[in-house]
Structure 1
Amino acid sequence: MTRYDLALIGFGGVNRALAQLIVERGDELATELGFALRVVAISDLRAGSLVRGDGIDLAPLLAAKPGEPGFAGLPGGSADPRTEQVISGVPCDIVAEATFTNPADGEPALSHVRWALEAGKHVCTTNKGPVALHGRALRRLAAEHGVGFECEGSVLSGTPVLRTARRLLAGLRISGVEGIMNGTSNYILGRLEDGVDFPEAVKEAQALGYAEADPTADVEGFDVQLKVVILANEVLGAGLRRDDVSVRGIARLTPADMRDAAARGLRWKLVGSAALREDGTVDARVAPVALPVEHPLACVSGPANAVSFHTDLLGAVTVSGPGAGRVETAYALLSDIIAIHQRQAVPARAVLEESLHG
């Protein structure tokens, strides 16, 4: 059976959840999917690095709190993350990159991805930064080195929007996408509908773990801005940069705005959208929109997310699901690994079919 050795870059919630999935369901997944997974290296800013060519025993690591204890006292461990050395020098097949998003320049995740691709290793990442800012260049780099670059988790966590567009909607002409792509802002808007003032709604979202201590990226639309860039470039073939997407957040909306909209059969939503113009350019924006209640996005409530694809033959096709969560995002990494495996298997099947029919 095929086995893929993994290097995990970042050992916070998402890659820990992936490791948990491997521990708890590894045998089942191997039977179902036709390949096994083994973690041989981990690099983490807090815990350090851990390298075991014969495979890391993940159970003790998962029993400890994130970052505690560090890897220094373990065989093959070091207090130094040694990230470049782990990515470039440790023999492995796939690098799973799940570090924090830097919307300014994509670093250090951008370097992590480049090092891996240049070393001839497949990459799956949940990080929006490298994909939004340098996605096209990274895909070229992957092609040059004959490896895969997968990033499903960079938009709606484990909900498969990129793969839906590429595979399930193949043969359709997609003229635009629009979606609710930030669960924090969607939750806050729902609480405004309940009559809760904006500052209190933000505090509630923080208490529930939906919002960070600094909620600016969520409520001002910057998180969605990156996702719109990714969708426009990956689905519509655009070459947008972050500054090409206009942004307006939800901080100025009030319960009174919600009541007024409801009286007119509307619901306020923070919508990210990208649409092809007749001249081939793309109009991309993030802004609060009062949607008719019959709109497919109007019924998306709480922290849920959804994306609608506008197609020529089917009209609007909407995919809805969780847009965050460590387990859900870990599934996105697993789905990326499955995609890498399937692509690897295609040449082998072609050779077999040629030999049978040659």
Structure 2
Amino acid sequence: MKTLKVGMLGAGVVGSQIARLLIANKSDLASRAGANLELVSIAVKDSKLKRDGIPAALLTNDAKSIVNDPQIDLVIEVIGGIDPAKELILTALKNGKSVVTANKALLAKHGAELYAAADKANVDLYYEAAVAGAIPILRPLRESLVGDHVIRVMGIVNGTTNYILTKMDENGAAFADALKEAQALGFAESDPSADIEGFDAAAKAAILAGLAFHSRVTDNDVYREGISKITAADVKVAKAMEMVIKLLAIAELTPEGAVSVRVHPALISRTHPLASVRDSFNAVFVEAESAGQMMFYGKGAGGAPTASAILGDLVAVARHKVNGGIGPKESDYADLKIAQIGQTKTRYLIRLNVADKPGVLESVAHVFASHQVSIQTVRQTGAGDKAELIVMTHSSNESSLSATVKDLKNLPVVTDVASVLRVEGVN
């Protein structure tokens, strides 16, 4: 049986798990790939640090030696970030090595350049692990649904934020307390900003949108809001309306044929499949013209789940090395325009603290009407200084809804706009 030599960049939580599985499951992986997959070198920051289950002889401090070694056939990149990962991957591709990566930040920012390099060298670039960990979602979009027309992709793609929002919903926890719990359990970093402010989800949304709509989408094209402003009061209102708050990554076609890509917290009905996705799990809901509605669900992060996706890609590219040919190249033929957030159609749930006196509702309704935003329901709670209006709108352009909120803040009878949340997946 032919032997393919594998080099790896990085041996953190994910990389160490990949290395252990490559060594432990060598026989099974060989049978599936049609070739022996021999791990020959792992680039790390500290090659003297002992790593359980990984022979010290495999470790090196010289990452460039791996991507430039003519004996190495396949490269796995799990160091993350932009530099030096970008230059290392480009060098590996240039040198004729197929690359498997989990680097969503790099793909979302420089995916086109990486694809071009892989295309020029006639090698594979696979990255299933870059979005939603072990969940197979990129390959279905890239291959299984390539004969269909995707209309919308909507998903929970960040486990940290989903864990926090789950605890706020189920236990009534405040945001800060739920975040501390997530950090204590290892679901959130000491600096959680990439997760809670939506940067991680935005990178994944860009990748999903590019594959779904055959257009180049970068992280700069994604409208982004995080969950740090979500309060226990927001969650309580959502519960009363039989809804739940989730941080959603959404990519969809607009009526004008552009692509809208956004990440933000949103209310969804508790009957929606995504509402039942709890804790650190991820799920992606796909709507296609012929296939209809599908949901992909599972563990979205962690060493073992991510390693599973990496090894699945590694077997795929190894088969191509053995049998000839390569996998799908970049599909950007549609070249659709990216819609600005103001062009997107959505719905709002707006909580207003108002004066409890005659004419308040009329004044508020007038503001909505002036921007041609239709109100679906209005509910008042409290009285006196604690009177609150909860307004649910019908679908409208984001720009009209945003202008409505701006004018409501200046209305004399409105003491405060307590919160504004988008509503998704509700007819």
TM-score computed with the length of structure 2 as normaliser:
0.72
Paired letter, 1:152: E
CA shift for structure 1 position 42: 1.4
CA shift for structure 1 position 303: 0.4
In the alignment, is residue 62 of structure 1 matched against residue 52 of structure 2? yes
Aligned to 1:171: 147
Paired letter, 1:303: S
CA shift for structure 1 position 346: 5.1
Give runs of aligned pairs for residues 1-358 of structure 1, distance below 5 A. Answer: 1-47=1-47, 61-63=51-53, 81-101=61-81, 106-193=82-169, 194-345=171-322, 347=324
Q: 1:229-284 CA deviation, whole Å, 9 max, x = no partner?
A: 11111222222222211111111112221121111111100001111224432111
CA shift for structure 1 position 2: 2.9
What SS does structure 2 have at the residue aligned with 1:211?
A: coil
Paired letter, 1:44: V
Paired letter, 1:224: A
Paired letter, 2:305: E
What SS does structure 2 have at the residue aligned with 1:298?
A: helix
Aligned to 1:54: none
Paired letter, 1:20: R
Distance in 2 separating the partners of 1:82 and 1:328: 27
Distance in 2 separating the partners of 1:88 and 1:151: 21
CA shift for structure 1 position 129: 2.2
Give aligned-pair identity as a percent: 34
Aligned to 1:55: none
CA shift for structure 1 position 211: 0.2
What SS does structure 1 have at the residue aligned with 2:76?
A: strand
Distance in 2 separating the partners of 1:343 and 1:90: 18
Q: 1:12-56 CA deviation, whole Å, 9 max, x = no partner?
A: 11121111112222112323443221111111122279xxxxxxx
Distance in 1 separating the partners of 2:208 and 2:48: 34
What SS does structure 1 have at the residue aligned with 2:105?
A: helix
Distance in 1 separating the partners of 2:59 and 2:75: 18
Paired letter, 1:246: Y
CA shift for structure 1 position 170: 3.4
What SS does structure 2 have at the residue aligned with 1:156?
A: coil
Greater CA drift, 320-329 or 337-346: 337-346
Listed as ranges, the gaps of 5+ residues in structure 1 are 50-59, 349-358
Aligned to 2:407: none
User: Could you tell me whether the CA contact under 8 Å between 2:238 and 2:245 is conserved in 1?
Assistant: yes
User: Could you tell me whether the CA contact under 8 Å between 1:41 and 1:90 is conserved in 2?
Assistant: no
CA shift for structure 1 position 339: 1.8
User: Could you tell me whether the CA contact under 8 Å between 2:29 and 2:315 is conserved in 1?
Assistant: no
What SS does structure 1 have at the residue aligned with 2:93?
A: helix
CA shift for structure 1 position 176: 2.0
Q: 1:187-214 CA deviation, whole Å, 9 max, x = no partner?
A: 1001111111111111100111100001
Listed as ranges, the gaps of 5+ residues in structure 2 are 326-427
User: Could you tell me whether the CA contact under 8 Å between 2:33 and 2:316 is conserved in 1?
Assistant: no
Distance in 2 separating the partners of 1:220 and 1:134: 21
Paired letter, 1:17: Q
User: Could you tell me whether the CA contact under 8 Å between 2:30 and 2:36 is conserved in 1?
Assistant: yes
Q: Kindly tell me the number of residue pairs found equivalent between the two proteins.
A: 324
Distance in 2 separating the partners of 1:130 and 1:252: 28
Paired letter, 1:181: V
RMSD: 2.1
Paired letter, 1:62: D
Distance in 2 separating the partners of 1:223 and 1:258: 23
Aligned to 2:399: none
User: Could you tell me whether the CA contact under 8 Å between 1:109 and 1:129 is conserved in 2?
Assistant: no
User: Could you tell me whether the CA contact under 8 Å between 2:244 and 2:269 is conserved in 1?
Assistant: yes
